[in-house]
Structure 1
Amino acid sequence: MSVHDQAAVAVLSQVALAADGAVLGLALSYIAVRSVIKYKTTSFALNKVKKAPSVSVSDLRSVLSNSSEHDADTSSSSDEKLVIVRGVVETKSAVNGNWKKQNILVSHESNEKAVILQRTQTCIYNEWRGFFGWTSDFRSLFARHWKQQETSSLRTIPFILVDGGHWPQSDYLTVNLDGSKHPLPLTTVYHNLQPISASPYTFLQAFFGHEYPVGLLDEEKILPVGKEITAVGLVSLKNGTPEVSACNDLPFFLSNMNKAQMVMELDFRTKVLFWSGIVVGSLATGILGYAIVRNWNRFKEWRQRRQIQRQNAAEENNEAEADVAAEEDIGEVPEGQLCVICLMRQRRSAFVPCGHLVCCPRCALSVERDLSPKCPVCRQTIHSSVRIYES
């Protein structure tokens, strides 16, 4: 790790441990809350996938008809049913009778037939900390997505799922991708990384610590015809033909996994989120509790210091007044009225509760500050002293 990286990590650690770890505790609390929310969502999706029937394409009509009869008996208005269907990808034109003019996509690199074609071009950037590039340390920590710039194009054609090994196909399931943001089970058929030649402008970018391109990555992914996949979604009859659409409550729509694999993966996610929420939540609670106790003790110490400072200021004022009074008292004092402690100033302060008038204000104040203040005459414990003024 370089010196700049160590400095950046040190700054982040100081921010995280600020206020006795309160910032770190709040960050862990946020992670724990997010884990709990994701746990609820994943657990809900797991229950739905477990309850969803797994059928073949040829059995869809019977399942939907039974569902419609059940809905009619229960006076339900829902026409969609969550179903898991395993089938083989085929173009929709193959079942429409257009054998000679099939609407199909062909990969530019591998010449494979597909129903989904995605081409991605990624410009990969590198960064050298030049003479003026010290700010790149923080930019690299908070904006790593700036390192890559990606352009992607996606082409799709209408496609269906059919039962494998049966031809001609009489039953099929139309796949509706509208509104779906789920990941697609695409296969990479082309992957090429080309270096970018440096130019004088590249040298200037590197000299001043800016990002500069070093490579260009071209990828091509397809959903090939004849691939067996699983569709998890809401199935309904559209013009007498079953059609499946994505369910936003589920993390899957089109996948290479079957139902058992999906249940296993969701169950694993649920356990990880559950225990991570408990561990991180407990850690956050402990750190926040420690930070609260520490800050509360600091607040009490600060309040005590403030009280002590105020008491010291009041005592200094009393001492100043006593000094002034003592200066006034110094002079020709009768022998019977001298302070029994200093024998210099006149007796002006009476002790409470004994009432003996034997000390000057300054000596009375010093007697009051003792750990166990007692009257110098009767040795009775005193609480305070009162200045006596002569009329």
Structure 2
Amino acid sequence: MADDRIFVPLSLVSRLALAFDGAILGVVLACSAVRALLKHRSASSALSKIQSAPSISIGDLRSIISAEQSESSEEPLVVVRGTVGVKPVVEGGSWRSLKPHVLVSQESRDKAVIIQSMQTCIYSEWKGFFGWSCDVRAMLGESLNKQGSTSLRMVPFILVEGDQWLNVNLVGSKHPLPLTTVYHHVHPISASRYTFLQALFGHEYPVGLLDEEKILPLGKEISAVGICSFNDGVTEIKSCKELPYFLSELTKDQMVLDLAVGTKTLLWSGVVLGLISIGILGYAVVRNWNKWKQWRQQSQRQLPQPSYDAYDDDLEYLEETEVMDNELCVICLMRRRRSAFTPCGHLVCCPRCAQLVESASHAKCPVCCQKIRSSLRIYG
């Protein structure tokens, strides 16, 4: 049934893409190629920045920051690896207990600094006997078929290496977090009294509820790629918007390898899509140009032919009168030359043949091959 739901939208999309002999498909592929090349440019920039960023320990951060700030005013970009810990808080000269600042997972009872709880409603995928509204949802994707809620709780945390620690600043960061799934369960939903009618007419109805919980546990070893600085005498790292990573389970070498593969993939995909789009657009231009020329020739052929009723009396007279050979039409060799072409002025055709020559697509004089504008009837 799922194949039936996407058959009609896919057929409409394919017809639209192949319209104008594939011109629309060529434009879409060209836009995709440009987008891939722009992403390749940003990925290459991020790769060079991560490659040049030093991978140092937390204890050496102060000396690196001081040396970089003395040479330039810019804050240094570094790669630091450590384990997740709770940020220490000092009150009244003594270290306060860290327990109130640790989150506890409701499902796994693990201690964490970030807990993300998600609840998603799963809907039926059956179209029904009389349903057609699902085709619109299929064209827009499966995002409309799922609804849910997400809650995110977090506390300030640090990266620890031995007895040294680094404050992690997540303010303004939109990078993905290295969370671990600790709970994943689907709860079935009982059918209501209207479920049969909803299924019969193709209206989607909920069949299950998916509960997920992801955490960033204490003691997890992660890497931080960002800008280091001093904030109130505390070493702090914050995210860099130009980089695809901030907190990650990957090491620096794994990040570089991942970005290198990604940049090559984006480059070759952009080149291939660009070449394909050029070929399709070239084919579409040639095909549409030929169609336009054929249409123009057909429209010219379908022009109303001149009426020769006015010449009937004259033709009957000519047939009864003897005509010299040097006075015969050079085209039909039957009637007297009575039409002169302009601007060349050659008097070589009868009125009927002159009209036929004049109505041609490329009207030229049969003697001098000069382009003609019209013909004039000569009496006498």
Aligned length: 355
Residue 81, structure 1, aligned to residue 76, structure 2:
yes
Residue 260, structure 1, aligned to residue 253, structure 2:
yes
Matches within 5 A, 1:248-287: 248-287=241-280
Q: 1:5 to 1:86 in 2, by over 3 A?
A: closer
Q: How far does residue 64 in structure 1 lie from its aligned partner after superposition?
A: 1.1
C-alpha contact 2:61 2:235 (8 A) present in aligned 1: yes
Q: How far does residue 137 in structure 1 lie from its aligned partner after superposition?
A: 2.2
- What residue in structure 1 maps to residue 50 of structure 2? 49
Larger deviation, residues 275-284 vs 204-213: 204-213
Q: How far does residue 94 in structure 1 lie from its aligned partner after superposition?
A: 6.7
Residue 29, structure 1, aligned to residue 36, structure 2:
no
Q: How far does residue 51 in structure 1 lie from its aligned partner after superposition?
A: 0.4
Q: Aligned partners of 1:148 and 1:57: how far apart in 2?
A: 43
- What residue in structure 2 maps to residue 233 of structure 1? 226
- What residue in structure 2 maps to residue 119 of structure 1? 117
Q: 1:56 to 1:354 in 2, by over 3 A?
A: closer
- What residue in structure 2 maps to residue 133 of structure 1? 131
C-alpha contact 2:119 2:148 (8 A) present in aligned 1: yes
What is the TM-score of this pair, normalised by structure 2? 0.83
Q: Aligned partners of 1:144 and 1:7: how far apart in 2?
A: 16
- SS of residue matched to 2:139: helix
Matched letter for residue 98 of structure 1: R
Q: 1:213 to 1:355 in 2, by over 3 A?
A: closer
- SS of residue matched to 2:16: helix
- What residue in structure 2 maps to residue 181 of structure 1? 174
Q: 1:2 to 1:51 in 2, by over 3 A?
A: closer
Q: Aligned partners of 1:279 and 1:367: how far apart in 2?
A: 51
Matches within 5 A, 1:184-195: 184-195=177-188
| Aligned-residue CA RMSD (Å) | 3.2
| Match among 309, 312, 324 for residue 323 of structure 1 | 309
Q: Aligned partners of 1:84 and 1:120: how far apart in 2?
A: 31
- What residue in structure 2 maps to residue 145 of structure 1? 143
C-alpha contact 1:53 1:83 (8 A) present in aligned 2: yes
Identity of aligned residues (%): 50
Q: 1:225 to 1:94 in 2, by over 3 A?
A: farther
C-alpha contact 1:90 1:159 (8 A) present in aligned 2: yes
Q: 1:326 to 1:103 in 2, by over 3 A?
A: same
Q: 1:329 to 1:53 in 2, by over 3 A?
A: closer
Q: Aligned partners of 2:70 and 2:3: how far apart in 1?
A: 70
What is the TM-score of this pair, normalised by structure 1? 0.81
C-alpha contact 2:6 2:139 (8 A) present in aligned 1: no
Q: How far does residue 185 in structure 1 lie from its aligned partner after superposition?
A: 0.4
Q: 1:273 to 1:350 in 2, by over 3 A?
A: same
Q: Aligned partners of 2:348 and 2:155: how far apart in 1?
A: 110
| Match among 158, 161, 167 for residue 160 of structure 1 | 158
- What residue in structure 2 maps to residue 74 of structure 1? none
Residue 12, structure 1, aligned to residue 20, structure 2:
no
Matched letter for residue 182 of structure 1: H
Larger deviation, residues 130-139 vs 219-228: 130-139
- SS of residue matched to 1:242: strand
Q: 1:324 to 1:98 in 2, by over 3 A?
A: same
Unaligned runs of 5+ in 2: 329-333, 360-365
Q: Aligned partners of 1:64 and 1:223: how far apart in 2?
A: 28
Q: Aligned partners of 2:63 and 2:120: how far apart in 1?
A: 47
C-alpha contact 1:117 1:222 (8 A) present in aligned 2: yes
C-alpha contact 1:337 1:347 (8 A) present in aligned 2: no
C-alpha contact 2:121 2:206 (8 A) present in aligned 1: yes
Q: How far does residue 143 in structure 1 lie from its aligned partner after superposition?
A: 3.1
Q: Any runs of at least 4 consecutive aligned residues in structure 1 with deviations exceeding 6 A, and if so which?
A: 338-341, 351-357, 363-369, 380-386
Unaligned runs of 5+ in 1: 72-76, 370-379
Q: How far does residue 148 in structure 1 lie from its aligned partner after superposition?
A: 1.0
- SS of residue matched to 1:116: strand
- What residue in structure 2 maps to residue 304 of structure 1? 297
Q: How far does residue 338 in structure 1 lie from its aligned partner after superposition?
A: 8.3
